[in-house]
């Protein structure tokens, strides 16, 4: 993140502290993004080793969440930030919570990948999983980009894409239910695939949440629990 995006203070140390926590958020985001890629690839390709990599990757994500949270607490206590600085710290605290939850969902997919790796069964549903995962990975990537550049327009664009994830998830669910009805022997495997799809759908929700925090950070407007139309209106404010 470029220094010009930060508020400037008399204390260079304060500037450095704000820059540091923002950069650590992006580092955490990069770890989560790779964890998601590894987990999905492990599931689709039946690679249990890669699934284990996705599972163990959650340890680093959790450690970063704790470290960033502690730094934010120190800044609140020592600097008593106001205005945009306070919004930055609040947005970061909320963002790392959603990033950690994305990591948790990726870990779930990793566990499912390990479980399913040795099982025989119809793999046609993995095409749909690949499709929704590609969409969700794009959302996570662009969400981090919006955070890095404080890009409200991009944040709105990504938030709107969550509806497509929901539609894809509903489609996969319908397919799997039909498949289970036609072949009861597939129920166990199909339910695991459904849980993976559900995890991906939840990741899309968390990416949307972070986009809402970007809008809050830049515009000072809380757009949680609003419609897309209201979110777009808030994002246009002061543009």
What is the model's pLDDT at position 236?
A: 72
Rounded-to-integer distance, Cα 148 and Cα 144, Å: 6
> Other CB atoms closer than 10 Å to residue 189's CB: what's the count?
21
pTM of the model: 0.90
What is the model's pLDDT at position 119?
A: 74
What is the model's pLDDT at position 1?
A: 40
Average pLDDT, the chain: 90
Instruction: Grade residue 9 by pLDDT with cuts at 50, 70 and 90.
Output: low
180-217: per-residue pLDDT in tens?
A: 999 888 888 889 999 999 999 999 999 999 999 999 99
What is the model's pLDDT at position 239?
A: 53
98-139: per-residue pLDDT in tens?
A: 999 999 999 999 999 999 887 766 566 788 899 999 999 999
Residues in the chain: 239
Q: Is the pLDDT of residue 234 over 80?
A: no
For residues 76-83, average pLDDT: 90
User: Quick check: 25 and 96 in contact, CB under 8 A?
Assistant: yes
Q: Is the pLDDT of residue 6 over 60?
A: no
In the 8-state DSSP scheme, what is residue 81?
-
What is the model's pLDDT at position 4?
A: 40
Residue burial 102-138, b: 16+ Cβ < 10 Å; e: rest: bbbbbbbbbbbbbebbeeebeeebbebbeebbebbbe
- Consecutive H or E run containing 143: helix 125-149
What is the model's pLDDT at position 129?
A: 92
23-65: per-residue pLDDT in tens?
A: 999 999 999 999 999 999 999 999 999 999 999 999 999 999 9
In the 8-state DSSP scheme, what is residue 7?
P
- Please give the CATH number for the structural domain made up of 8-236: 1.20.58.220
What is the model's pLDDT at position 123?
A: 67
Instruction: Grade residue 82 by pLDDT with cuts at 50, 70 and 90.
Output: confident
What is the model's pLDDT at position 111?
A: 96
What is the model's pLDDT at position 226?
A: 74
């Amino acid at each position: 993140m470029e220094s010009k995006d930060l508020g400037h203070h008399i204390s260079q140390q304060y500037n450095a502290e704000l820059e540091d926590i923002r950069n650590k958020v992006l580092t955490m985001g990069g770890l989560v993004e790779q964890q998601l890629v590894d987990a999905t690839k492990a599931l689709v390709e039946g690679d249990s080793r890669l699934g284990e990599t996705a599972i163990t990757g959650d340890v680093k994500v959790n450690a970063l969440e704790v470290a960033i949270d502690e730094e934010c607490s120190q800044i609140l206590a020592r600097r008593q930030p106001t205005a945009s600085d306070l919004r930055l710290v609040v947005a970061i605290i909320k963002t790392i919570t959603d990033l950690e939850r994305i990591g948790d969902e990726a870990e779930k997919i990793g566990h499912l990948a390990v479980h399913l790796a040795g099982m025989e069964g119809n793999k046609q549903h993995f095409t749909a999983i690949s499709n929704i995962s590609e969409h969700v990975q794009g959302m996570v990537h662009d969400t981090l980009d919006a955070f890095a550049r404080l890009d409200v327009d991009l944040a709105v664009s990504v938030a709107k894409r969550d509806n497509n994830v929901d539609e894809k998830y509903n489609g996969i669910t319908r397919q799997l239910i039909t498949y289970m009805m036609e072949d009861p022997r597939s129920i166990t495997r199909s339910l695991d695939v459904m849980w993976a799809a559900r995890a991906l759908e939840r990741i899309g929700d968390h990416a949307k949440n972070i986009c809402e925090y970007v809008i809050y950070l830049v515009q000072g407007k809380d757009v949680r629990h609003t419609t897309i139309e209201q979110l777009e209106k808030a994002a246009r404010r002061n543009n």
